Amino acid sequence: MVKRVVKCLRLRLARRRAQVSVAVALTAVMVAGPLAACGPAAPPVVSDRYRSYYEIFVGSFADSNGDGVGDLAGVTQKLSYVRDDLGADGIWLTPINPSPSYHKYDTTDFEAIDPQFGTMQDFDTLVAKAHRADVRVLMDLVVQHTSSRHPWFTQAIQALQAGTTNKYVDYYRFSSTPKAGYVRYGASDIYYSAVFSPDMPDLNLDDPGVRGEIAGIVGFWLRKGVDGFRLDATTSYYPYDAAASVAFQRWLKATSTAVRPDAYLVGEAWTDSTTLASYYASGVDSYFNYPFATVSGTLNAALSAKDGTALSQATQRWNATIHAANPAAMDAPFISNHDNPRPAGYLMRSPRLEKLAAVTYLLMPGSPFLYYGEEIGMLGSGSDPNKRMPMVWSATDRTGMTKPPPGGTYDESAVVPVDQQLKDPGSVLRFYHDVLALRRRTPELARGTYASITASDRAVLAFSDTYQGATVYVLENLDTTAHTEQLGAMGLPPSARIRDYLLTDGTATPTLSGGRLMLPAGAVVVLR
């Protein structure tokens, strides 16, 4: 028995950082799951395209040189935090190209690094060290528009003002008369399409020259070792022509895989569920699951109503829908990003609810995306800069801390910083680590065929995931009181046993006896 417990401990403590004390680690294991019920050794961790990605708003994450701006060297310094302390195995970098703005979504050079963030050597070092740690790297690919200061645009304007033309005139959409969605260039009779801002002129994605430039950009970064791209603003590629947008994204996917067959693409399509599902026909691997995300999404509604049945049924329908459009589709669940309010705010700053929301979306099929600071309960809503505030590493040591972005005013003094949460086995951060560890050692969760299971109480979220002939069953109690379920009544096999569990609140542990499963409030159980 002792040998068995030690074996389970070693499994659960794999990748714990050396400096975490044995006593703290043992406590974390006792909270995370049953040692006596550890059962057979878990399947080996699978390293493939299914990942748990961590979105890093580079300028606000980690400052390596003390200038108050986060940078690529800072990200490199924090790779051990991302991989070991948190447990993510992929990162998405928001734009790092030269740009006049703090957010960098209006680039002036697609094949360079903004000096604020470092050098190309810094980038190469980050990619190399990330890959050595089995962390994949995604870049933001912003090809719907450029900066108004981009040489392509300035040369096009110069030609038009001189009454001549050049190839760059065709790179954008110009008009000599006012049009909907067009803005005027100064006091001239030159108008240009700009969906987002006069500072961000839209590219003409139909132009062969533009397509050639984009193909070159994609190839440049993939050959430098990038593992894929987050596609910015896909609904704005062709705002009034969904079919054209799908066709363009199909071209982007083909262009990427021609350079690197395993390149992973995830698209931002902030739109209704019908349009979003139709985009999967492009062959793009994933799209952010906006219908489930944020304060108004399916997930938060289910948590608020304590309706696990509705959530599991909705998840099954959604996965069936996207796989009908693309059999190889991978959902990309999330609850926050740099454009949306941080969940700690709308979850009433309740660690219990933050943990419940986290385990619910992180155990969904596909590749989930976490937003930096989400795992420590950072706050932020309203104006965009307030959703992009500095990562709170410590309350006493300012090393690595950045300044707020321009316009950022949110008070983060109430946030418990990383260094304190790492020492607390019951913290939100340590819970995120435990959920991601569970996800890694249970390959069925990300890759399996999802099937909703109806529990006797709607507050119990129940589902199965089947992958390569193996099935796991997950039951999660969304309620604040305990519930008991009969496995047989739900169609679960009598041989099913508890293999893992997580607690979002309290210390009461799940029990299984005679086919009766007792789920404490907020408990999550994995059975095989």
Per-residue model confidence as pLDDT tens digits over 56-103? 999 999 999 999 999 999 999 999 999 999 999 999 999 999 999 999
Interior/surface letters 398-413, b for 16+ CB within 10 angstroms, e for the rest: eebbbebbeebebebe
Structure token digits, residue 74: 């800072």
| 3-class state of residue 379 by DSSP | coil
Beta strand 228-231 pairing with 182-184: unpaired
Cβ–Cβ < 8 Å for 394, 387: no
> Cα-atom radius of gyration of the chain, to the nearest Å?
24
Examine the residue annotation and report whether 63 is marked as an active-site residue of this protein: no
Task: Select which of 106, 114, 202, 268 is catalytic.
Answer: 268
Examine the residue annotation and report whether 375 is marked as an active-site residue of this protein: no
Could you tell me the sign of the dihedral formed by the alpha carbons of 28, 34, 40, 45, in that order?
Answer: negative
Structure token digits, residue 308: 């696990």
Judge: domain 53-142+206-444, CATH 3.20.20.80: yes
Residue 324 CB coordination number (10 Å) = 12
Tell me the C-alpha distance between 45 and 99, whole Å. 40
Helices 428-441 and 22-32 cross at an angle (nearest 10°) of 70
Our measurement of the distance from residue 319's CA atom to the centroid of its chain's CA atoms, rounded to an integer in Å, reads: 17
Which pLDDT does position 272 carry in this prediction? 92
Q: Which residues of the chain have pLDDT under 50?
A: 1-42
Could you tell me the sign of the dihedral formed by the alpha carbons of 438, 440, 446, 451, in that order?
Answer: negative
Q: What is the dihedral of CA 94, 98, 101, 105, to 10 degrees?
A: -40
Tell me the C-alpha distance between 332 and 312, whole Å. 16
Our measurement of the distance from residue 521's CA atom to the centroid of its chain's CA atoms, rounded to an integer in Å, reads: 27
Whole-Å CA distances, 320 to 123, 249, 331, 409, 465: 39, 21, 11, 42, 13
* Domain residue limits, the chain: 53-142+206-444, 151-193
Which pLDDT does position 45 carry in this prediction? 62
Among the listed residues 289, 282, 211, 288, the one whose alpha carbon sits nearest the alpha carbon of residue 253: 282
Among the listed residues 39, 90, 81, the one whose alpha carbon sits nearest the alpha carbon of residue 400: 81
Which pLDDT does position 23 carry in this prediction? 35
Task: Select which of 122, 232, 412, 479 is catalytic.
Answer: 232
Tell me the C-alpha distance between 333 and 290, whole Å. 8
Which pLDDT does position 46 carry in this prediction? 66
Whole-Å CA distances, 59 to 149, 251, 469, 478: 21, 31, 45, 36
Bridge partner residues of 511 (DSSP): 518
Non-local (6+) Cβ contacts of 332 within 8 A are 266, 286, 287, 288, 289, 366, 367, 368, 369
| DSSP for 292-351, written as a single string | G-STTSHHHHHHHHT-HHHHHHHHHHHHHHHHHH-TT---B--S--TTS--HHHHTTT-H
